[in-house]
């Protein structure tokens, strides 16, 4: 399902990036792991809005895509550590930029809520060219 994209270099490469990073929580997880190895519970506490189920899934997908490494310690209670691979670390600047952009965007909406309130398309169509 992924290979038919990777084979066609003429398509926008962002589509490839979104195949890997498009998950709702992927980049947030990567951002957390940029600060170093963390275990499952730490990630869960750092991202309180994510479900256990989703955290597990996204981590497994990230592992399958070669972005994170999963290390299981056979202890009781269980202990599983996650850390970034080289490929995962290569997203450092992108994650930083997205984080900064998110913070800035929140400010834009707080300052000028017109942008977020312009959800009525009708008014805009009225001033359309004739």
Residues engaged in binding DNA (CB under 7 A) = 22-25, 39-41, 44, 49-54, 56-59, 70, 72, 76-80
Residues in contact with a copy of itself, counted by CB under 8 A, come to a total of 65
CA-wise closest residue to 68 among 111, 21, 113, 114: 21
Partner touching 62 among a copy of itself, DNA, none, CB below 5 to 8 Å by kind: none
Q: Residues 1, 89, 101, 123: which binds a copy of itself (CB under 8 A)?
A: 101
Q: Is the Cβ of residue 41 or residue 60 nearer to a copy of itself in the bound state?
A: 60
Task: Answer yes or no whether residue 78 interacts with a copy of itself by CB under 8 A.
Answer: no
Which are the contacts of 56, defined by CB distance < 8 A and separation ≥ 6?
40
SS3 79: strand
The Cβ-side half-sphere exposure at 94, using a 13 Å CA radius, reads: 13
CB 97 within 8 A of CB 61: no
| Burial of 100 (C-beta count, 10 Å sphere; 0-12/13-18/19+) | exposed
Contact footprint for a copy of itself (CB under 8 A): 5-6, 9, 11-18, 20-22, 24-25, 27-28, 31-32, 46-49, 60, 63-66, 69-74, 85, 87, 90-91, 93-95, 97-106, 108-110, 115-116, 118-119, 121, 124-125, 128-130
């Amino acid at each position: 399902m992924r290979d038919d994209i990777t084979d066609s270099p003429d398509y926008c490469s962002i589509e490839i990036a979104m195949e890997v990073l498009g998950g709702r929580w992927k980049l947030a997880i990567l951002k957390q792991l940029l600060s170093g190895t963390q275990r499952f519970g730490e990630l869960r506490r750092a991202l309180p809005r994510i479900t256990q189920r989703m955290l597990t899934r996204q981590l497994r997908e990230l592992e399958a895509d070669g972005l994170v490494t999963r290390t299981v310690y056979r202890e009781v209670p269980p202990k599983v550590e996650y850390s970034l691979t080289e490929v995962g670390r290569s997203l450092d600047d992108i994650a930083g930029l997205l984080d900064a952009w998110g913070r800035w965007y929140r400010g834009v909406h707080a300052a000028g809520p017109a942008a977020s309130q312009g959800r009525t398309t009708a008014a805009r169509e009225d001033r359309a060219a004739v």
